[in-house]
A and B are shown apart, each in its own frame.
Chain A
Amino acid sequence: MKVKHDRAELLADKLELPADALGSVKLSLFGRCRLLAENHRGIVSYTDAAVVLDCGASKLNVRGDSLRIKAMSGKDILICGRIVALEFE
């Protein structure tokens, strides 16, 4: 999976295309209270203090307080709450 993802990013670089167009995760942070993650692969864990998202090659750990999943579809997820940190594992 990791190789596949890297290839996608490499290919995007070569073709000068946006990485998210080839499947890389795209994060949009609105202030510190809203995070929109596109092209995710699902939720790994979900608590008040942390939401871990599967981003394919890596996992994104969203840490904060009173975190809530506001909306979710197969590819996009909107997380609301007081976001403290974003960490890739």
Chain B
Amino acid sequence: MMKKLYRLLRGTARLEISGAEPEQVLNRCAENDVEFWDAVPCDEFTLRITVWASDKQRVIAHDGKNGIDISLLSENGGRVLRAAAKSRLWLLVFMAANLVLLSVSSLFLWSIEIEGTEKISDAAVLRALEECGVYYGAFWPEISSDAVKNEMAELLPEIAWITVNVRSSGAHILVRERVPKPEIFNEKTPRDIVASKSGVVRNMTVLRGRETVAEGSVVCAGDVIVSGMISSETGQAREVHSSARIIADTWYEISAQSPLYELKKCGTAASDTKISLLIGKMRINFFSDSRNEYASCDKINKLKYISLGKTFVLPVGYAIQSTTQTETRLEPIDEIETAERLKQSLRAELRDRIGDGQIVSEKFTVSKTDSVLTVTMRAQCSENIAKEQPYDRTNDRG
């Protein structure tokens, strides 16, 4: 790239050498320190070379000597470029002004990207950043990443840490949110294991505590399965923190509904485009009425700042707001597709409910009333229904 630019500024000339021994010209060039490159033999008696425009005359001076003809094929850059630039002075001034503007504007922040937010909204982070001095148009050499990090920790306690990486006129904010502390598990507290759901107990693995039901028993949600009160050899009962894994067969019936008719958007021919010019934080609207003309519409906002790649961003841009009027119509739904979609969502809902458990069997029924499509899922599952609960003497069957 730099080589090409240097050649363009200095100027080059492409010459064609023809004669009995065109190589002799290359030897003369080498002897006289005339730099050449791209020496391409066209045929046995013709060669093409490129030399600096300033050396062109020294090579052409050999024209006609020893039966060698040298002709100029083309000349690029250098003097040709300067001559062209003289007739386009305003273009040059404009380009120079742009270059100055680019180099100055790259000292200010014109784009802020936030990454890593899940619970906190980007808007909240942007507001807090603005208080720390990181905002659109901020002079970034004054921004201290450590200072921003400390201030942000005070403003947004939900943030565990934050880094501000500034590259030219763009700031990349990397956020890590604080992970909530897990509940402290106290093993000394006496606890029972109860059934979280109704079902038939198929397998019990009791690590601590006393079983109060046998395998094959039917349990209802809330029934104590493993008691935290165990008998001791010394005759005195002891309270323990029960621990067990209870696999039971459970049954579910879940329904999902969808209306048989739905409102659908249809675009019309009516549309409106509003253009604004953005200079820094200033917005110049090229329209008088900013109100929305249509009751129902689709709106697309396009914002673009003039930039060279992602490195140099000018504080000048434009915003185009396209509004298309839409009409809504009540149309019948595709019943098969909707039923399939509802089945998928019911399966997802069931998986959420059973966690690590397994679906043993499932059956779907689809029914239709006047305006509603109902899909019902009946499933048998196998899952762990053990749930810890504070020890309660009234629940103790033993």
By secondary structure, the A interface counts as: strand
How would you classify the secondary structure of chain B's contact residues: helix, strand, loop or mixed? Answer: mixed
Size of A's binding interface in residues, CB under 8 A: 15
CA distance A42 to B30 in the complex (A): 8
Q: Total interface residues on B, using CB and 8 Å?
A: 16
Give chain B residues whose Cβ lies under 8 Å from the Cβ of A44.
23
**Interface window among A5-13, A18-26, A28-36, A66-74:** A66-74
Partner of B23, one of A46, A68, A70, A73: A46
Contacting residues, chain B, for A70 (C-beta < 8 A): 37
Q: A57-89, CB under 8 A of B: which get 1 and which 0?
A: 000000000001111111001000000000000
**CA gap between A42 and B31 in the complex, in Å:** 9
Interface contact B29-A72, CB-CB below 8 Å: yes
B33 at the interface (CB under 8 A from A): yes
Contact string against A for B residues 25-48, beta-carbon threshold 8 Å, 1 for contact and 0 otherwise:
011011101001101110010010
CA A70 – CA B50 in complex, angstroms?
11
Which residues of chain A are near B39, meaning CB under 8 Å?
A: 46, 68-69, 72
- Do residues B30 and A74 form an inter-chain contact, with CB atoms below 8 A? yes
Residue on B nearest A67 in the bound complex, by CB: B41
Q: Please measure, in the bound complex, the distance between the C-alpha atom of A68 and the C-alpha atom of B37, giving whole angstroms.
A: 9
Question: Is A74 a contact of B47 with CB atoms below 8 Å?
Answer: no
Does chain B have a CB within 8 A of A43? Answer: yes
> Once the chains are docked, how many angstroms separate the CA of A59 from the CA of B51?
27
> Closest Cβ of chain A: how far from B185's Cβ, in Å?
67
Min CB distance, A73 to chain B, in Å?
5
Q: A residues within 8 Å of B by Cβ? A: 42-48, 68-74, 77
Q: List 21 A-B contacts (CB under 8 A).
A: A42-B23, A42-B27, A42-B30, A43-B23, A43-B26, A44-B23, A46-B39, A46-B41, A47-B41, A47-B44, A48-B41, A68-B39, A69-B39, A70-B37, A71-B37, A72-B30, A72-B39, A73-B30, A73-B33, A74-B31, A77-B30
